[in-house]
Amino acid sequence: YVHGGAKIATLVDYSGGDEQLGRDLAMQVAATRPVALSAAEVPQELVRKERDIAAAKAAESGKPANIVEKMVDGAVQKYLKEVTLLGQPFVKDDKQTVQALLKAKGARVSKFVLFVVGEGIEKKSSDFAAEVMAQAGMAAKA
């Protein structure tokens, strides 16, 4: 699936369902940019970071420790639903998750890949005039 003037492309490996389901799943990945397929596949470093953020926020509430822990757990679970393909609300029907959609269609996703044009490329900034002067052996005068 290619989206946004060929700036975003996705591949979804799935079984079951039909071609439209595949297109919808690929569109979902392009639109929501999930980090992983399921909660178990989210890098632990991201989960730890989110847990630390939630803990700091919950600690400010002044509530008892057991309540704070439940608030942190709830925030982490919410985060995992947002960043996993299976946990996200389906973009065409936000009343059901992608996982519920797949179950209803008798389909299964094994993996997905998201490509974004220019992502991961660092643009080197340079002053062309200074570069020419340096190559010509002339120092730029300040």
pLDDT-derived band of residue 81, with 50, 70 and 90 as boundaries?
very high
pLDDT-derived band of residue 138, with 50, 70 and 90 as boundaries?
low
Q: What is the mean pLDDT of residues 96-117?
A: 93
Q: Is the pLDDT of residue 122 over 80?
A: no
Instruction: Encode pLDDT of 49-64 as tens digits.
Output: 999 999 888 888 888 8
Question: What pLDDT was estimated at residue 124?
Answer: 54
* Cα(97)–Cα(92) distance, integer angstroms: 10
Domains of the chain (ranges plus CATH)? 1-38+84-142 (3.30.479.20), 43-83 (1.10.286)
* Cα(59)–Cα(55) distance, integer angstroms: 6
Cβ proximity of 86 and 109 under 8 Å: yes
User: What does the mean pLDDT of the chain come to?
Assistant: 85
Instruction: Encode pLDDT of 18-75 as tens digits.
Output: 999 999 999 999 999 999 999 999 999 999 999 999 988 888 888 888 888 899 899 9
